[in-house]
Amino acid sequence: MNSATHLQDMEIAHRRTLRLALGVSLSLFVSQLISWPLSFIMPLITMVLLLFPIPAPPLKQAAVLILALALPMYLCIALLLPLFETSRMAAILLLILIWFGCFYFSAAGGPAIIGLFMTAGIAMVVAIGSVSTDAMLDIAANLSFGTIAGILFVWLAHALLPDLPGTFAMSRPQQQEKPSTQQAQRGAFRTLMIVFPVVLFCLFSSDSMSYLVLMIKSASMGQQASTDQSRAMGRSLLESTFWGGIAAIICWQLLVIHPSLLLYCLLVALAMLIMGARLFQGAGLHPRGEMWIYALITMLVLLGPSVQDGQMGKDASSAFYFRLYLFGVIAVYGSVAVAVFDAFWRPSGIRQKPKPS
């Protein structure tokens, strides 16, 4: 690679990092100003769409993303939740089939963003809607509104810091070989075995409403299990939770000392700049970029609800560290679960390299 191409790749990566920090901090600032329920969803959606090295979604693709989150939620509210009231075991079996289909979509090479949206929507519907259908309807409406508003801030960020001309044509990432049907089925089943027990715990809990952010973390964990290689998945889970947790702790302690909306937005922007510098490499992701994607998701999912708890007069610090504890538990559980699964069901078609003579 010559020096001119290297400098252009650096400029592309730096521009995307700045766009990430700008878009998320602006979205966060507005969501806090209007003080609507689940205000952290708007910057979370903005962040997820800016974390991936893709152009600003056109109107048609934006509609697909909104439907990927909203449609599974409202279908589950209409079809699955009534079944939970009459035959919970049948509803759980149906849920397993639905979720296996979502995980198979990701494992077979479907867009990670759409898979994440579908998984999160279904997880939250089941865990919260099984306790209160009215609460789930409110949450579904807020999530849909947050997604629409988040996409608007993605468009704004791209308008303020557009991609350089020819960015994607110049350095288009290589197309990965599409997984075979057997590989996709194995990946989907592995993800189901890892993530479903977490949702099942929330499903039978009488306080499922408290585990909303745990469902979002579980959905992101499911995407890691669907897309990461077996050996890297456990490490990625632990590292993303560790670095996201460390960033959230630092931001939270500074906010406890000086509660301020401006400081909150500046701290989040700073975290995006620091971790975002490890995300992009030219027009694509850094080889370890996915780990940093889920670290940033972990950080914002920990911070957002805790700040909202403080605004409502709740014991925000206790809630923050309890969520951090839960995130750590499910990260360790997920790493152990994937190791156990891979020990009993090894990928087919993988041959060991012969030892040199």
pLDDT one-digit tens code per residue, 287-296: 788 888 889 9
Q: Flag the least confident range among 71-85, 120-134, 146-160, 280-294.
A: 120-134
**Spatial CA neighbour of 235 closest among 179, 282, 291, 183:** 291
pLDDT band at 250 (very low <50, low <70, confident <90, very high): very high
Q: Flag the least confident range among 65-69, 169-173, 180-184, 197-201.
A: 169-173
Tokens 């508003």 -> residue: 149
- Whether 224 and 240 have beta carbons less than 8 Å apart is answered as yes
Amino acid at 67: L
pLDDT digit string, tens, across residues 294-342: 899 889 988 988 888 777 767 788 888 888 888 888 888 878 887 787 7
Amino acid at 197: P
The mean of the pLDDT values for the chain is 79
In three-state secondary structure terms, 41 is helix
Q: What predicted TM-score, i.e. pTM, was given to this entire model?
A: 0.82
pLDDT of residue 248: 94
Top pLDDT among 29 and 173 is at 29
Percentage of the chain exceeding pLDDT 90:
18
Q: Find the farthest-apart pair of alpha carbons in the chain and give their distance in angstroms, rounded.
A: 69
* 171 DSSP β-pair partners: none
Task: Report the alpha-carbon distance of residue 31 to residue 114 in Å, rounded.
Answer: 23
pLDDT above 80 (res 43): yes
